[in-house]
Each structure stands twice: as C-alpha cells, then as structure tokens.
Chains A and B, each alone.
Chain A
Amino acid sequence: MTEQTFIACHECDLLQQFKPPPLDGSARCPRCGAVLHRSKRDSLNRTLALNLAGLILFAVANAFPFLAFEMQGQVTQTRLFTGVSDLYQQGMWGLAALVLLTTIIVPAVQLTLMLYMLVPLKVGRAPQHLAGVLRLLQNLTPWGMMEVFMLGILVSVVKLAGMATIVPGLALWAFGLLIFVLAAAAASLDPHLIWEKVRYVS
C-alpha cells in the first residue's frame, strides 16, 4: 500500500499535499485554517493509559452518590442515574433518554470502544471491524457531554447552596477528574495514525 500523499481539507475541499505535522503540533489548511492533523508524542500509549483511567473513574462516578442534599434533617443522595430515573417517573421520558444518552451511554460506549480498539493495536494487531469502530467513535463525539454535565452540577450546587446543605460525594471528585482525563484522551488520539493501520475493504 502506498502512503497517502494528497488530502483534501474537510472544511474547504482544498487539495493539498499531506504534510505530517510537527511533533506535538498541528497542521492547518492554508486556505481556510481548519486543523487537518495533530501529532502527539507517544499517541497510542497515552490514549490507552488515559482511557483506562477514564473507565475506572467513570465506574466510580456512576457507582457512588455524587451529591447529597440536606434540608431540615432530611437527606437525599443522588447518583448519576437518579436524575434520569426521576425524570422518567415524572413522565419526561424524552428528557430522561437525552440525559441518559449524553451522560451515561455515549461516554460508556466511547470508553469501551476505545479500549477495544487500542489494546489490540498496542500489541500489534488490528482488531476486527477497526474501521467501523473508529467511524462510530468519530460520529459519537458530538453526543458525549460529560463536561457540560459537570458545569450543570456546579450551577446546581451554587443555586441550592442558599437553601440547604450540599455534601459533595465521592463520585463528584471522580467526575471532576474524569472530565480532564477524557479531554486529554481526546487530545492525545491521532486518528490518522490508526487509519493507516486499516486494511482496505476492497
């Protein structure tokens, strides 16, 4: 297979020679300024490590209560899933589904698929359906909204702080860390590196 020498910008379709970006830098389209490629030192290892950490943090964030709310002696504890099930019980199944998808299902699928893809690549094999998995991961990107949810938590805490005592739970710290780990994992992945390992379908 020959190395790909020409690419077209995905935002303006300018045909250009593929120039590998400088290490830890990015290559931009000279015409529209779109980021074409990023290069990361040790991309595979870093992404793998960050995703492993992410999966553990995600499990903790889901298993433990992230906030407790105390008002006149009554305490409510909340897990990530509590909000979804409460919305569902109030008949807001559309909202419940939207929150479930963007904060639990999509991140879980992303973390799992990343490991499915990266572990075999690490030991030098290409996993089955590699192209399809990477494509799915790219399509899921807009729908994982953990960092927005984190902002939602902060806003809620400030809003309620005046009327009751808010006790942060273990999951909240895991959640806070998870945001940074996920962002770092997304930034350390170099998809170009993986596409080169995909064998042609035909």
Chain B
Amino acid sequence: MKPWPPSAARQSLISCLSCELLSKAPVNLDDHLRMRCPRCGATLHARKPNSLARTWALVIAAFIFYIPANVLPIMTVTSLGKTQSDTIMSGVAYLLLHGMWPLALLIFFASVVVPLLKLVILVYLLISVQLRSRWRPRDRTRLYRITEAVGRWSMVDIYVVTILVALVHLGNLATIRAEVGAVFFGAVVVITIFAALTFDPRLIWDRLEQPHE
C-alpha cells in the first residue's frame, strides 16, 4: 500500500466535525477539554471522546433490548371478541401466509436483519479497532457508512403499528393496541442510531499510522 501523509491529528490539527475548519490543537492538555471551533462554536475533539467505551455501552444496551423487542408482542388485535397478539416475527409469518411475501421480506429485513446486522458490524468494528487491525480499512469505513445510513429504516415497524392503531379503532368490531415489545424495539432503533453516532471511524485509520511493534 502506498504511504499516505500523516493525519491531521498527527500534525496537531483538529478538524471541526460541523464546519470542517482546521484548528491548531492546544499544547496544554487541559485546554483540550473545552475547546471550541473559532468559526462555528462546536466543541472540538481530535477524536470523539471515549468513542470506544460509549459505543460498546450503547451496543450492549441495544443487544439487551433486542431480546424483549423480538420476544414480546408489539401489538394486539381485538376483533369481534377475539384477541390476537403479534410479535415482529409472527407479523412477518402472517404476511407470508397471506401471500404478501414482498412485504414480509421488507419487514423481516427492516425489523430483524438490519438492527442485528448493525449491531454485529459495530461490534466487529469496535473489536477490530481494539485489536489494532490493519486489515482493509477502506472497506471497514464503508461498512461504518452503511451502518450509519441504513439504521433509520428499522423504524418502519414502529410507524406501521402507529398507523394501524390510529386507523383501526372501531369499538367492538376491531381495535388495535400497541404493546410493550414496540417500546423495546423503538429503544433498539434509537440506541443503535446513537451508537453509530458515537463511533469514530477515524480510529480505524489511526491504527495504520502507528508503526509495527
């Protein structure tokens, strides 16, 4: 691989993540704590503070919430006295049984695969940074980018529940209630969005600049 010039941080420069202005890093370490961008006023950090620890904490929290989100029902349909609770997977199964397989596939991807994949990718990135991996940094950065972009689509199931609840309340005829699984699921989506925001992809590249030991 051809050698790249050193990163901004190596040359004592801090790049503002909001407006991209480069500032000189202060010599005095204490000044690092509350340094603001002279142009836009954003707090400056050479790297996102405690990125690895924070991302780990959020990823673990999301994994924990992922279980009740999938096991507990997300909604209950009451129709003519009959009550039926649906989890995410039973909702997918219902769609499959009724021949709506493109929709089943969509919900399965958005609600089951995407959150899990996002968490697995973040764990992989965290571990690869901690093991000082030098393996394919460009592809790992791309993985991060995908994780960041795709997570929002998991919200689709939350919105479906919201819309069904709003549309179907016809008294005894048919009523739909949101259930606690949806709360956990919403929490998973929000926490994983935060996790992607706290991870600093520049850490992937920092490891390449450190000489072999």
Q: Find A94's partner among B37, B42, B95, B183 (CB 8 Å cutoff).
A: B183
Contact of A142 with B183 in the complex, beta carbons under 8 Å: no
Which residues of B lie under 8 Å from residue A155 when comparing CB positions?
Answer: 103, 106-107, 156, 160
Q: List, in ascending order, chain A residues with CB within 8 A of B158's CB.
A: 95, 98-99, 152
* A145 in the interface (beta carbon within 8 A): yes
Q: Which of B39, B141, B197 sits near A11, CB closer than 8 Å?
A: B141
**Chain B: interface residue total (CB-CB under 8 A):** 68
A76: which B residues are within 8 A, CB to CB?
166-170
Find chain A residues with CB under 8 A from B173 CB.
71-72, 74
Q: Within residues 145 to 166 of chain A, which ones have a CB less than 8 A from any CB in chain B? A: 145, 148-149, 151-153, 155-156, 158-160, 162-163
* Residue B70 lies at the interface, judged by CB distance under 8 Å to chain A: no
- B160 in contact with A33 (CB, 8 Å): no
For residue B11, CB closer than 8 A to chain A, the reply is: yes
- B190 interface residue per 8 A CB criterion: yes
Please tell me which one of the listed residues B38, B103, B107, B201 contacts residue A201 in the complex, with CB atoms under 8 A apart.
B38
CB interface residues, B 40-69, toward A, < 8 Å: 40-42
A134–B19 CA distance with the chains assembled, in angstroms: 9
How distant is the Cα of A92 from the Cα of B183 in the complex, in angstroms? 8
Measured between alpha carbons, how far is A202 from B44 in the docked complex, in Å?
Answer: 15
Least CB distance from A164 to B in Å reads: 8
Q: How far is the CA of A153 from the CA of B8 in the complex (A)?
A: 45
Chain B interface residues toward A at CB < 8 A: 4-9, 11, 13, 15, 17-22, 36-42, 95, 98, 100, 103, 106-107, 137-138, 141-142, 144-145, 152-153, 155-170, 173-174, 177-178, 182-183, 186-187, 190, 193, 197, 201-202, 204-206
Measured CB to CB, the residues of A under 8 A from B are 4, 6-8, 10-16, 31-34, 67, 69, 71-72, 74, 76, 78, 82-84, 86-87, 90, 92, 94-95, 98-99, 102-103, 131-132, 134-135, 138, 142-143, 145, 148-149, 151-153, 155-156, 158-160, 162-163, 191-192, 195, 198, 200-202
